[in-house]
Structure 1
Amino acid sequence: MLQTTISRLMLNMPEPLKNRAKDINHSELSAWLEAIGTRRDKVAFAHLFRFFAPKIKNFGRMQFKNEAEAMELVQETMTNVWRKAHLYQADKGAPTTWIYAVMRNMSFDMLRKIQTYREETLSEDIWPLEQNTQPPEHDDFNDHLLIQHLNAHLATLPENQQQIVIGIYIKQLTHEELAQQLNLPLGTVKSRLRLALARLRLQMGEQHD
């Protein structure tokens, strides 16, 4: 699976090496992109990942001032590169220009979602703790209604965000347990949770209140 491949590459992500960057030219980068777009070549993707991931991570650190968000930017950018590599046209621009455009679009999208909402506030607003506010015999019924109400909204989330919300709030797993189960970095789990809660907040709005 692509996410497994990316997770493994992220665990072994090197820091940028200036000398190595000089050894790789645009022809090689274009060839790797073409191999990904036409043959879904995982070896070519690994080469491209090792070249761009450290640079994207550094950009993310400057943009978000947060290591977890920087890692999320790497993962989402390179996932989009894999999915959209067939759209790259060498005669219309350099591969670096194309990939950095993908990165910037993803960073803008992330900024729009995370600058307004904080994870702690969203979690409390959407998933209120109502302990001792109702007789015990009504708890199961109300939990069932809440889950039914939320399922309709959960279905609109990207699959990777659905996994996180269900794992944390329905299956009652800890962040660490879920990260291990999904073979993801802990920071990625937390970032996806924040993005998912932001989207749920926008969808549910005052209905939840």
Structure 2
Amino acid sequence: MDTQQQTEVAQEMKQLLIRVATHRDKQAFNKLFAHFAPKIRAFGVQRLGQQGLALDLLQETMTTVWTKAHLFNAHKGAVSTWIFTIMRNQCFDMLRKVQHNREDAFGDDIWPLFEDSGSGDGLADHSFTRQLKHQLDKLPPLQRQIVQGVYLQELSQQELAEKLNIPIGTVKSRLRLGLEKLRAHLEKHHD
């Protein structure tokens, strides 16, 4: 596409977005959607690694375009810049949610090591409990405090944050670090 064609497309996109903003023009929105959907989807697949998440990104981005079209300012930039900024922000939000879900689930995959360690006889269970306590004692005090609070005292991360008067993010990061250390040791000595 040459420079003249790019300018014409940019002008057309601007007019379409203005029609969406001022008249809630569904046909104009459909044209915007058809133009930007393949680009947003491709970006989503590349960044999020899953077709389903890429489609969610497309839906979230274009929903935001529809609801916030009145905020577009043609004097500040092109329609494509505005829409791609929305897309990137939505993508960052999705990545944060995915990461948050991974961190919450991280502890779940360490506990089968604890549960499977005993063969049902009390001696193996006792030995493993002793080994676990020994490894907990090796954790840095702040990480140990969080791991024990969440898994032994069965406090939620939010309850622990409030009890210790620290941010929830600090609880999550200490928990993740502590569990990674425990997991590494347990996998090393699990056999």
TM-score by length of 2: 0.51
Match of 1:59 in 2: 43
1:27 equivalent in alignment to 2:26: no
Identity of aligned residues (%): 45
Q: Of the two, which has the highest radius of gyration?
A: 2
**1:39: which partner in 2?**
23
Q: 1:117 to 1:29 in 2, by over 3 A?
A: same
Distance in 2, matches of 1:89 and 1:67, equals 32
Q: Superposition RMSD on alpha carbons, in Å?
A: 2.7
**CA separation in 2, counterparts of 1:120 and 1:89?**
40
Map residues 1-209 of structure 1 onto 2, 5 A cutoff: 25-118=9-102, 121=105, 205=157
Runs of 5+ in structure 2 lacking a partner?
109-155, 160-191
> Which structure carries more helix by proportion?
2
* Residue-pair matches, total: 108
Deviation at 1:54, TM superposition (A): 0.7
Name the amino acid aligned to 2:55: M
CA apart distance, 1:121 = 3.9
The unaligned stretches of length 5 or more in structure 1 are 1-17, 125-203
Q: Give the whole-Å Cα distance in 2 for the aligned partners of 1:90 and 1:52.
A: 18
Distance 2:42 2:26 in 1: 24
Q: 1:121 to 1:91 in 2, by over 3 A?
A: same
